[in-house]
């Protein structure tokens, strides 16, 4: 298995320098989404004292011509701090700040989907929309082959790997454990982890988060994941179907509810929301991966615990449905439902915005029938 050369560097030596006193100075890592809509970029600056809130962190800028967001003759892009987290790599008092991106005219960049999502969440705030996203990913070596798989071959078929234990079944647990603890330290609302169906495939869950916080927390959890993988010399891919053939793909299932759904008698509102979703299937597919549905075409085949990309369906405890109602929710008569269509590489701002637009703001697309 080929690992990144950086993983062989002496981490204890780095720790010697990170332990040096930094006085009142604070290192702030600015993080933003690049022009692909999937990649994350980052850079750091020093502040003279610890910021108490995101409002204390100044705007900054960067070269958008190097991130697929601008031309070289007009390259400056603005970084607008939006959400602040503790830094699990440099430790307190240092910070990570997730930023929105504005172009030269101070308009939201085309891939700054947070801006639109925030407006929609503000319109729906009285409904108190809660989200929980299940982020699946696959570990790869630096040669982009699945971590732990036999060189030039395949492991045993799927079956023994889901929630497994043992060196012959669980590949790369060190990464998921380190990521879990780092997210807790940072203040990411991570709620759990598990091994997934394909060997070297893992999942973690973020939420419940209300409104815009869902996207903020999931993006920072992804940033932390990629940084953890740097240390171990591996890659975390969010590709929806990283291995062709009889292997599961990777999704980012969206658990969703409103205040009315969570109260006694909420099943009525769950069923109403699902009916609305059934009438906007094409719209949701178009925003549930960053390439307008093209990525999900490889995953949503109707096989490997997925629904068909062409048709909407729902069911209780059905992992082959577009939308699943958990059995305990049906039993209790209230709670949430799970939209299983979003891809692993989705933009969580786009997914959560779409759910709110359809189920709370009652937007309708003419002619969009499943």
By three-state DSSP, how is residue 184 classified?
A: helix
pLDDT for 2 equals 79
**Alpha-carbon distance values, 44 to 3, 38, 341 (Å):** 26, 20, 36
**Can you tell me the distance from the alpha carbon of 185 to that of 199, in angstroms, rounded to the nearest whole number?**
28
pLDDT for 6 equals 86
Query: What H or E segment, with its residue span, contains residue 192?
Result: strand 190-195
Query: Which long-range CB contacts under 8 A does 53-59 form with residues at least 24 apart?
Result: 53/84, 54/81, 54/82, 54/83, 54/84, 54/97, 57/28, 57/81, 57/84, 57/95, 57/97
pLDDT for 270 equals 98
**Can you tell me the distance from the alpha carbon of 251 to that of 246, in angstroms, rounded to the nearest whole number?**
16
Question: C-alpha angle 292/295/299, rounded to 5°?
Answer: 130
Q: Count of H helices and E strands in the chain?
A: 10, 13
pLDDT for 112 equals 94
Please state the three-class secondary structure of 101-113 as a single string: EECCCCCECCCCH
Closest Cα to residue 96, out of 180, 18, 48, 32?
A: 32
pLDDT for 370 equals 38
**Can you tell me the distance from the alpha carbon of 335 to that of 132, in angstroms, rounded to the nearest whole number?**
12
**Can you tell me the distance from the alpha carbon of 250 to that of 245, in angstroms, rounded to the nearest whole number?**
13
Q: Please provide the CATH number assigned to the domain covering 24-111.
A: 3.10.20.70
> H-type helices in 187-288, by residue range?
213-232, 259-262, 267-278, 281-287
Say yes or no: domain 121-359 is CATH 3.90.650.10.
no
pLDDT for 366 equals 46
pLDDT for 336 equals 98
By three-state DSSP, how is residue 136 classified?
A: strand
Same topology between domain 24-111 and domain 121-359: no
> What are the residue ranges spanned by the domains of the chain?
24-111, 121-359
**Can you tell me the distance from the alpha carbon of 313 to that of 260, in angstroms, rounded to the nearest whole number?**
23
pLDDT for 304 equals 80
The two structure tokens encoding residue 350: 């786009």
**Can you tell me the distance from the alpha carbon of 222 to that of 217, in angstroms, rounded to the nearest whole number?**
9
- Tally Cβ neighbours within 10 Å of residue 43: 12
pLDDT for 83 equals 98
pLDDT for 252 equals 98
335 Cβ neighbours under 8 A, 6+ residues apart? 257, 261, 262, 266, 270, 326, 328, 329
pLDDT for 8 equals 87
Per-residue pLDDT reduced to its tens digit, 50-74: 999 999 999 999 999 999 999 989 8
Return per-residue pLDDT of the chain as tens, 370 residues.
678 998 889 989 999 999 999 999 999 999 999 999 999 999 999 999 999 999 999 999 999 999 999 998 989 999 999 999 999 999 999 999 999 999 999 999 999 999 999 999 999 999 999 999 999 999 999 999 999 999 888 999 999 999 999 999 999 999 999 999 999 999 999 999 999 999 999 999 999 999 999 999 999 999 999 999 999 999 999 999 999 999 999 999 999 999 999 999 999 999 999 999 999 999 999 999 999 999 999 999 988 888 999 999 999 988 889 999 999 999 999 999 999 999 999 999 999 999 999 999 999 874 454 3
**Can you tell me the distance from the alpha carbon of 60 to that of 31, in angstroms, rounded to the nearest whole number?**
11
Residue 296 near residue 285, CB atoms below 8 Å: yes
């Amino acid at each position: 298995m080929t690992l990144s050369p950086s993983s062989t560097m002496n981490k204890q030596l780095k720790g010697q320098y990170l332990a040096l006193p930094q006085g009142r100075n604070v290192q702030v890592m600015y993080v933003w989404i690049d022009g692909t809509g999937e990649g994350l970029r980052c850079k750091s600056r020093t502040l003279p004292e610890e910021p108490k809130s995101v409002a204390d962190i100044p705007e900054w800028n960067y070269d958008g011509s190097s991130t697929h967001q601008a031309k070289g003759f007009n390259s400056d892009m603005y970084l607008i701090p939006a959400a602040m987290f503790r830094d699990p790599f440099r430790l307190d008092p240092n910070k990570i700040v997730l930023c929105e991106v504005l172009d030269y005219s101070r308009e939201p960049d085309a891939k700054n989907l947070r801006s639109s999502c925030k407006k929609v969440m503000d319109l729906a705030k009285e409904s108190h929309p809660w989200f929980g996203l299940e982020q699946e990913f696959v570990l790869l070596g630096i040669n982009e082959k699945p971590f732990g798989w036999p060189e030039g071959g395949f492991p045993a078929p799927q079956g023994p790997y889901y929630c497994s234990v043992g060196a012959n079944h669980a590949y790369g647990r060190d990464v998921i454990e380190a990521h879990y603890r780092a997210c807790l330290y940072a203040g990411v609302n991570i709620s759990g982890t598990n091994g997934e169906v394909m060997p070297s495939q893992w999942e973690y869950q973020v939420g419940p988060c209300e409104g815009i916080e869902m996207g903020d927390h999931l993006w920072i959890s992804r940033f932390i994941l990629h940084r953890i993988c740097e240390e171990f010399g591996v890659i975390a891919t969010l590709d929806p179907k990283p291995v062709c053939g009889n292997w599961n793909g990777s999704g980012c299932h969206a658990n969703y509810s409103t205040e009315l759904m969570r109260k006694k008698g909420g099943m009525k509102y769950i069923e109403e929301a699902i009916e609305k979703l059934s009438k906007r299937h094409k719209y949701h597919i178009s925003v549930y991966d960053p390439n307008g549905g093209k990525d999900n075409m490889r995953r949503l085949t109707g096989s490997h615990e997925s629904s068909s990309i062409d048709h909407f369906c729902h069911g209780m405890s059905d992992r082959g449905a577009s939308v699943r109602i958990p059995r305990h929710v049906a039993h209790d008569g209230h709670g949430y439902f799970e939209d299983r269509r979003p891809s692993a590489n989705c933009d969580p701002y786009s997914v959560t915005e779409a759910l709110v637009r359809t189920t709370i703001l009652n937007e309708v697309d003419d002619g969009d029938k499943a």
